[in-house]
Amino acid sequence: MNALPSNRWMPLLVGGLSLVVAGCHESKPGVLASNLPPARVRLGEVRLAPYVAVEEVMGTVRARRKTVVEAKVTGRISALDVRLGQSVRSGDLLIQLDAPELVARVDQARVVLDQAGRERDRFQGLLQQRTVTAQEFELVDSRWRVAKAGMAEAETLLGYTRVTAAFDGVVSRKVAELGDLATPGRPLLELEVPGDLRLEADVGEALLSRIQTHQVLSVRLAGKPDVEGRVAEIAPAADAGTRTFLVKVDLPPLEGVHSGQFGRLGIPVAESSILSVPAAALIRRGQLEFVVVGVGGRAQLRLVRTGRALGDRIEILSGLEGGEKVVLEAPASVIEGQGLEVAP
């Protein structure tokens, strides 16, 4: 690539840049660069490399394993000893419901079962004495088995008054409070597995063709370096309102990242070659951007025009060519034509 200024103005600009860079150089006017000792520097390479352009789609971090805790029976909350952020183990008691009608139902079922059991025992003895027929005994035995099933049903319903954790996790949301009436279908708590996260993003039709299941994509989270995530699920149908498809991307374990946070999913859209230099090579003086290029062992000041930041490198739109060497963290006293000594 050619430098921005034309050859006609290059001597004037180079002279001006030399004065800017050498503003801190304590030498007498008229000192030649050839008379100065070589500047000890480190060099970096102007690199021409493939670059994949991406389009970012906004998304939200969600827990991959999450459940909404609801009651299966109606009852007043008599115990609620968990708090937000609390860790729980599978089977731990989360909520205790007070349901006196279910207690009464168990007592009633127990009485019916006891009566049916005594009647069955009596008829069994009579059957051995051949006083009753087998058909009469089977009728009594059927009533006992129905009573036994009713007892099991009543005990099961009463057991539902103890709301327990389905897996090891943390309490991420707390809706109910002590004394509230819990009913089937009403959310009480939410549990999730911390650290097991994914990014969910709504992707438009134009970008969906560039995503496949198990594909690795870049994910940008606030205050974190970019990470790689793997596409786990792609919705087969678009949302009727937004005309977008839900894409779920599994994230690696990350510290300081929680569900509900904002993130961006990078979707590759095009490939190109770009020129870049290490960010440490760029010098800014007011509106000017330039680098010091090592040419034949001497410093040459070069105006450049920069583009995007690419991690620890800067895109160069003009002013340099691939393969050239640039000075990293150039000393403020270096001037045009000064000798360079490359540090090991």
Domain residue limits, the chain = 10-50+273-342, 54-65+195-270, 67-192
> What CATH fold (topology level) applies to the domain 10-50+273-342?
2.40.420
Reported confidence tier of residue 226, pLDDT bands at 50, 70, 90: confident
Q: For position 338, what pLDDT does the model report?
A: 86
Q: What is the mean pLDDT of residues 322-331?
A: 90
Between 251 and 50, the more confident residue is: 251
Is 323's pLDDT higher than 50?
A: yes
What percent of the chain lies above the pLDDT cut of 70? 90
SS (H, E, C) the chain: CCCCCCCCCHHHHHHHHHHHHHHHCCCCCCCCHHHCCCEEEEEEECEEEEEEEEEEEEEEEEECCEEEEEECCCEEEEEECCCCCCEECCCCEEEEEECHHHHHHHHHHHHHHHHHHHHHHHHHHHHHCCCCCHHHHHHHHHHHHHHHHHHHHHHHHHHCCEEECCCCEEEEEECCCCCCEECECCEEEEEECCCCEEEEEEEEHHHHCCCCCCCEEEEEECCCCCEEEEEEEECCCCCCCCCEEEEEEECCCCCCCCCCCEEEEEEEEEEEEEEEEEHHHCEEECCEEEEEEEECCEEEEEECEEEEEECCEEEEEECCCCCCEEEECCCCCCCCCCEEEECC
Query: Which CATH architecture does the domain made up of 54-65+195-270 adopt?
Result: Beta Barrel (2.40)
Interatomic CA distance for residues 279 and 155, integer angstroms: 71
Q: Is 182 exposed, middle or buried (0-12, 13-18, 19+ CB in 10 A)?
A: buried
Reference 143, options 151, 133, 132; nearest CA is: 151
How distant is the alpha carbon of residue 325 from its chain centre? 39
Reported confidence tier of residue 163, pLDDT bands at 50, 70, 90: very high
Same fold? 10-50+273-342, 67-192: no
Is 27's pLDDT higher than 50?
A: no
Q: Please, are residues 163 and 93 in contact by the beta-carbon 8 Å criterion? A: yes
Which of the following CATH numbers is that of domain 67-192: 2.40.50.100, 3.40.50.2300, 2.40.30.10, 3.30.1180.20?
A: 2.40.50.100
Where is average pLDDT lowest: 89-98, 197-206, 282-291? Answer: 282-291
Reported confidence tier of residue 34, pLDDT bands at 50, 70, 90: low
Where is average pLDDT lowest: 110-114, 220-224, 258-262? Answer: 220-224
289 bridge partner residues: 284
